[in-house]
Chains A and B, each alone.
Chain A
Amino acid sequence: EADIYQTPRYLVIGTGKKITLECSQTMGHDKMYWYQQDPGMELHLIHYSYGVNSTEKGDLSSESTVSRIRTEHFPLTLESARPSHTSQYLCASTDLGGRQETQYFGPGTRLLVL
């Protein structure tokens, strides 16, 4: 099983709150990703990073922001949460030096904004 961790696993917050979803991996992987998974199961890429100080927007527009100050850490922040942000957020990572294509996923954070 991949060593990629997400906290919290579940979060219920009120509208307007600022939240940060944590993602850490201990595999030394260069590339990391954030996906949003809607109730219909589909995975949407919202952010990715090639390495430290690199952040890119994904295919789905998102009001969230990310940072990559350390290789192992890729947090996602919502400055002002809204009910439309209710979803499951999945973090993943890839080893650019190894099996470049294989993405390893964390367990996810299920967010509910009231």
Chain B
Amino acid sequence: GENVEQHPSTLSVQEGDSAVIKCTYSDSASNYFPWYKQELGKGPQLIIDIRSNVGEKKDQRIAVTLNKTAKHFSLHITETQPEDSAVYFCAASNFGNEKLTFGTGTRLTIIP
């Protein structure tokens, strides 16, 4: 089955700086890669996703890049703000499987 590794497990960045979280996956058949943000006391919420037919996707301050050959994908957050502090999860799935395999999470703290 699929295995997703996520690094780092904790990340602290100064407000205004950029944050990068990286994930690797094992199943070359995986073709859908979402990122979720979980704030304290809430369930995870989808913030951005990418399919295997594109290498990069951007939505305002967040972007995701995908390297299919190396089987890794990354979340980039620019101009970080205090409200970006949360736990971030990457995930991978094979279209039609409808089961997501999640990474172990990254606790991001933005230092004012």
Contacts and interface: CB of A to CB of B under 8 A. Distances in A.
A23 to B, nearest CB: 11
A90 B87 CA distance: 15
A96 B44 contact: no
**Most interface-central of B32, B44, B95 (chain A CB within 10 A):** B44
Interface string B70-112: 0000000000000000010100010110111010110100000
A105 B43 contact: yes
Nearest to A6: B43
Interface in B32-72: 32, 34, 36, 38, 41-46, 49
Q: Say which size band chain A's interface belongs to.
A: 20 to 34
A102 B45 CA distance: 10
Contacts of B102: 42-43
Contacts of B34: 101-103
Contacts of B42: 107-108
Interface string A38-70: 001111010010000000000100000000000
Interface of B: 1, 32, 34, 36, 38, 41-46, 49, 87, 89, 93, 95-96, 98-100, 102, 104-105, 107
